[in-house]
Amino acid sequence: MNLRTTWMMFLGVSALTSAVASAESIEWDVERAVIAGTGCQKDWDAFASTNGNDLSVVFTNLGVDLPGNSGSPLAARKNCTVRVPAEISQGLYIGELVQRVTYGVTKSARASGSVATRSTFFGFNVSPYTVNLPYGSAINNPLLVNSRTDEFLVNTTWYTGWCRAGRNPRGLYQANLAISGQRDSDRENLIMFVDGLDLKFEVLAEILHCGVR
């Protein structure tokens, strides 16, 4: 079987109107990015690029491949650490963060899997995010979508930290990603992100001016 695994992760930061933020509010330094782990290696099977405020990291080896009756192990796990330097001018802050995972999976009932992310942006914690593929149900779907939204309101710790005088405009986007799967026996099937089915992790952030509600 010719298996091809693809994971695409996008960090997109976009201004909704020119009155809210400039067209390019974030400057990414992908040349100094660190992308490494058991399921990724920068410029080998993980590739970073930018387009304006958007950061894209494409993975080609970050998945779980445990097909039935293959003699493969009963469990597998891969991880990846992403560190990308960025610069955001003082007077701007992130008002809303949407994490969305789009993925494909083939799974028999006596198998389970998960995708988990833990991220920070300029040292501020972003809520951990986990997508579970539960034991007890079979799944065969090339396109599944999960999302969550964090709103960082005015006068919260996030807002006051971003808007404090003298905030360093330079920082990091940091993400730790893990994909894991387990099955009861070799008869069970668990394949995630295979044969052109991709997983796309998107983080979309709204940039606002400090003092704007």
| pLDDT tens digit sequence for 158-197 | 778 888 888 899 999 888 989 899 999 999 999 875 333 3
Q: How many domains does the chain have?
A: 1
| Within-domain flag for 205 | yes
Query: Is 179 domain-assigned?
Result: yes
Q: Which domain holds residue 107?
A: 6-209
pLDDT at 135: 93
In a domain, 1, yes or no: no
Reported confidence tier of residue 24, pLDDT bands at 50, 70, 90: low
Over its C-alpha atoms, the chain yields an Rg (Å, rounded) of 19
Strands, E assignment, the chain = 6-13, 26-28, 34-37, 40-41, 46-51, 54-59, 65-66, 75-88, 92-107, 111-121, 124-133, 139-151, 170-183, 190-192, 198-209
Which pLDDT belongs to residue 45? 85
Domain membership flag for residue 148: yes
| Domain presence at residue 198 | yes
How far apart CA 153 and CA 133 sit, in angstroms, is 32
| pLDDT for 14 beyond 80 | no
- Structure tokens of 128? 């951990």
CA 32, 34, 35, 41 dihedral sign is positive
Q: Is 136 left (phi over 0), alpha (psi -120 to 50) or beta?
A: left
C-alpha 174/C-alpha 119 separation (Å) is: 5
Query: How far is it, in rounded angstroms, from Cα 54 to Cα 42?
Result: 18
pLDDT surpasses 50 at 58: yes
pLDDT at 131 over 60: yes
User: pLDDT at position 23, please?
Assistant: 52
Residue 10 confidence (pLDDT) above 60:
no
* CB distance 134 to 182 below 8 Å: no
For the chain, what is the mean pLDDT?
78
Q: DSSP class of residue 32?
A: G
What pLDDT, on the 0 to 100 scale, is given for residue 21?
47
Q: For 132-150, how does the pLDDT look when each residue is reduced to its tens digit (9 = 90+)?
A: 999 999 999 877 787 778 7
Integer Cα distance of 129 and 106 in angstroms? 21
Task: Decide which of 80 and 12 is more confident.
Answer: 80
Tokens 């997109």 appear where? 12
Residues across the chain: 213
56, 4 in Cβ contact below 8 A? no
